[in-house]
Amino acid sequence: MSTTLAPAELHARSADDTLVVDVRGPGEYAAGHVPGAVNVPAEHLDALLPDLRDAAQRRRLVVVCAAGVRSAAACATLAEAGIDAVGLAGGTQAWTAEGLPVDTAAHEGRTVWAMDRQVRFAAGSLVLLGLALGRRAPKGRLVAAGVASGLVYSGLSNTCGMAAVLGRLPFNRPRPGALDVARAELRA
């Protein structure tokens, strides 16, 4: 059995027999998600395992993230708990690249940037800060060098420490009661 589903395959499936679980943070989810997806941030997956297990008995679970890395990790966590799930190959990036529809939602009354955009903004700002500091104190350039090294490591490892840090900011965290909403959607 395949561990991933292509975007076109997911798009062709019925919502009656498929449940899409988006494991990105609320800000990323609000910026654009597969229509009908339930937002269960990866760090809260364990709290909803019983509900996910029940949902998996009624429908096929398809786990989605931005590019497929977090959804693969989430599928492994679910498999360890005895829950059958597949990932969306290429995540929402592949979904949108194929021109498939996405839903967006204002997060707490405002539009939130996608995580990759937040990372680009933060990294660029830190590089500029390091270069500006370096004009007065040459060691200030170490800030820019540190960010550059982190970006190289991120590219090589396909992980992103800056995204992990940004994900902990208030606008990227679930609002109170969000897990109760997800739990209700899983039980529907």
Q: How far, in Å, are 6, 91, 184 from residue 94 at the CA level? A: 9, 6, 28
- Which residues carry out catalysis? 65
Amino acid at 139: K
Helical H segments across the chain, by residue range: 7-12, 26-31, 49-58, 69-80, 91-97, 115-136, 141-157, 161-166, 178-187
Residues 6 or more apart from 6 whose CB is under 8 A from it?
89, 94
Tokens read off for 184: 């209700």
Tokens read off for 30: 């609000």
